[in-house]
Amino acid sequence: MKYLMLWILLFISFISGKSYCKIIEGSFLQFDNETIQWKKSEWDMELAYMKDIGMNELIIQGTVLEIRDTADPWHVFWDSAYYPSTLFPKMVVFDLIDTILSACDEQGIKVYLGLLWYNIFPYWLPQADSDYTYKCIAIAHELVDSGYTSHPSFQGWYIPYEFSNWIEDSLRIYHLNLMSPYWKMIADTCHFLSPKPVLISPYFEPENLNTFEMWCDTFATKCSEWGIDAVAFQDGIGVYRIQLNEIPTYFSRIDTAFQNTGVAFWSTLETFDTTIIPQDTIFIAEDIDTVIRQIEIESPYVEKIVCFEFNHYMSPVRTIKSWENLEHRLMAPKLYDDYKEHFWDIRNLAYNSTYELITPAYPDHLDEGNELIDTTISFDWRDYVGWLNVDSVIVKIDLGSVDTIRDIRAYFLQDTSSAIYLPTGVKVLISEDDINYSFIGSAEGFRLNKSIDAIVPFTGIDSVYTGQWVKLVIFPGGAWTFLSEVQVFGDGFIFPKFFQIELQKNF
């Protein structure tokens, strides 16, 4: 019932046009050293979290990565593919692209396959454009010939080249004319091989508005001529190109330029914040208030909002060990929870309920009072209840009355240096009388690589049930089992708040 209602909501947003606030409908995906090791079980969890907040599209930034020397863009250090390619060396030991497509097939998430992603682009030089074009065409042919586009989840193509207005006025028309045959060739090839939409994601620099309007008009015309189906303009908030109050100024002009071109105008909403630290720049999850304002302001101008990007800045699944400190590491799942609470009005039935540890905790890691339902999820051992060398752990929660149960989560810690491991499996049972219990869901095989420390949430059910008592049966994966929090989400699912607020284009 939950997903049926979600599809109805999305349909309402489509027929309502641009005058209503939207939700984020999809996300880009940028691979890194952690996610290229993920197996299907991790992607299943990741995609389930995306779908649970209305994200039904995934844009893979690139199926092939090419690293060039920033001092000499003509020098290619190496290039590699995320699938078994005959054209490029393979970066991963298994077929990452097929793994993701297969997981998306099962969950009903549509995928745009990105072609060649450069770390830097030698812009508007004929040799570079030619080289990029032929590599993109070769990749597209290989993806089709190898069957990737035969997946039901395949939705379209993404050309990862990031256009912008950064070039000085006198060269802009020359630049776009110079590039035209190359980008038309890529789009035409993609449409010929598999007649699906072709997407690009340009960015823009703030400038004189008359000059910006002229560039928008020319760029919109070119996109139509090239055969581009949608442009997802980066909103520039995360990298501080513009401020929130400047979005209407620029988005209104982009919107006007792309009207009647046949090219859809989307927003790529940046869900990150750029933080400068000594000798480095780091990107951390944005706060929910800023994300809400981005959605509010951008909605009247665009047909769809996607974000950059869920996996790094909203995912409750990944560990993000590269963050500078614990606070940064926990910001992504916090943004996810804040977003879900704001738009979907979830209700945590476990909060302020009562529970019983059927399996007594280890004396050094006892429950000091409601630790499992206090809404605190962290890497601090003081927030955990621990068990040592037990066959199973049973926790029973009394919700106080029979209620609708839509989702259950349990948060576990893995810290291999201290012999703390994720469970090998979890089972969920519910009851209306504390006597007769029914099995409603389980999960297993989500144990991470032993070198990774993480908080991993377990989502235990895939339907709607009623009950008052919830039992978690946890099967340890090693000596220690540490549990931080249990959440039981109830029947609070309503229309997202912003579907009920009509906005005007004049702010």
CA trace torsion 159, 162, 167, 173 (10° rounding): 20
- CATH number for position 180: 3.20.20.80
Q: Based on the domain organization, do 106 and 77 belong to the same domain?
A: yes
**pLDDT for the residue numbered 186:** 96
496 inside domain: no
Last residue of a domain, one of 315, 344, 373: 344
DSSP 450-483: TT--EEEEEE--SS-EEEEEEEEEEE-SSSEEEE
Q: Based on the domain organization, do 297 and 412 belong to the same domain?
A: no
Cα distance between residue 36 and residue 39, in whole Å: 8
Based on the structure, what is the number of domains in the chain? Answer: 2
Listed in sequence order, the residues at least 6 apart from 467 whose beta carbon sits closer than 8 Å to its beta carbon are 399, 402, 403, 405, 430, 431, 432, 438
Q: Based on the domain organization, do 373 and 429 belong to the same domain?
A: yes
Q: Based on the domain organization, do 309 and 359 belong to the same domain?
A: no
What is the sign of the dihedral through the CA atoms of 37, 39, 42 and 46? positive
Neighbours of 445 (CB within 10 A): 11
**pLDDT for the residue numbered 120:** 63
Last residue of a domain, one of 344, 377, 394: 344
H or E, element range at 210: helix 209-226
Q: Based on the domain organization, do 193 and 330 belong to the same domain?
A: yes
178 inside domain: yes
- Classify burial at 170, counting beta carbons within 10 Å of its beta carbon; exposed 0-12, middle 13-18, buried 19 or more: exposed
Q: Based on the domain organization, do 200 and 327 belong to the same domain?
A: yes
User: pLDDT 10s digit of each residue in the chain, 507 long?
Assistant: 222 222 222 222 222 334 346 889 999 999 988 899 999 989 999 999 998 888 999 999 999 998 766 555 555 566 789 999 999 988 888 999 999 999 999 999 999 999 999 766 554 454 557 888 999 999 999 999 999 999 999 999 999 988 888 776 667 777 788 888 999 999 999 999 999 999 999 999 999 999 999 999 999 999 999 999 999 999 999 999 999 999 999 999 999 999 999 999 999 999 999 876 666 778 889 999 999 999 989 998 999 999 999 999 999 887 655 555 556 667 888 899 899 888 766 678 887 799 999 999 999 999 888 889 876 666 566 678 999 999 999 999 999 999 988 778 888 887 888 899 888 888 999 999 999 999 988 876 554 444 344 445 555 566 788 999 999 999 999 999 999 888 888 765 443 443 333 333 322
- Token readout for 129 is 């454009």
Domain with 257 in it: 18-344
Q: Long-range contacts for 373-376 (Cβ within 8 Å, ≥24 apart)?
A: 373/397, 373/485, 373/486, 374/485, 375/348, 375/351, 375/485, 376/484, 376/485
130 inside domain: yes
**pLDDT for the residue numbered 345:** 61
**pLDDT for the residue numbered 409:** 80
174 inside domain: yes
Q: Based on the domain organization, do 392 and 308 belong to the same domain?
A: no
Q: Based on the domain organization, do 315 and 361 belong to the same domain?
A: no
401 inside domain: yes
**pLDDT for the residue numbered 416:** 81
Q: Based on the domain organization, do 318 and 358 belong to the same domain?
A: no
Last residue of a domain, one of 312, 344, 376: 344
5 inside domain: no
Q: Based on the domain organization, do 335 and 361 belong to the same domain?
A: no
Inter-CA distances, 51 with 101, 110, 492, 503, Å: 15, 11, 17, 26
Residue 33 φ then ψ, to 5°? -65, -20
pTM over 0.85: no
Length of the chain: 507
- Token readout for 74 is 């003509």
497 inside domain: no
- CATH number for position 374: 2.60.120.1190
Q: Based on the domain organization, do 314 and 390 belong to the same domain?
A: no
pLDDT, one tens digit per residue, over 100-122 is 999 999 999 999 999 999 766 55
413 inside domain: yes
**pLDDT for the residue numbered 10:** 23
Q: Based on the domain organization, do 328 and 399 belong to the same domain?
A: no
Instruction: Give the 3-state secondary structure of residue 245.
Output: helix
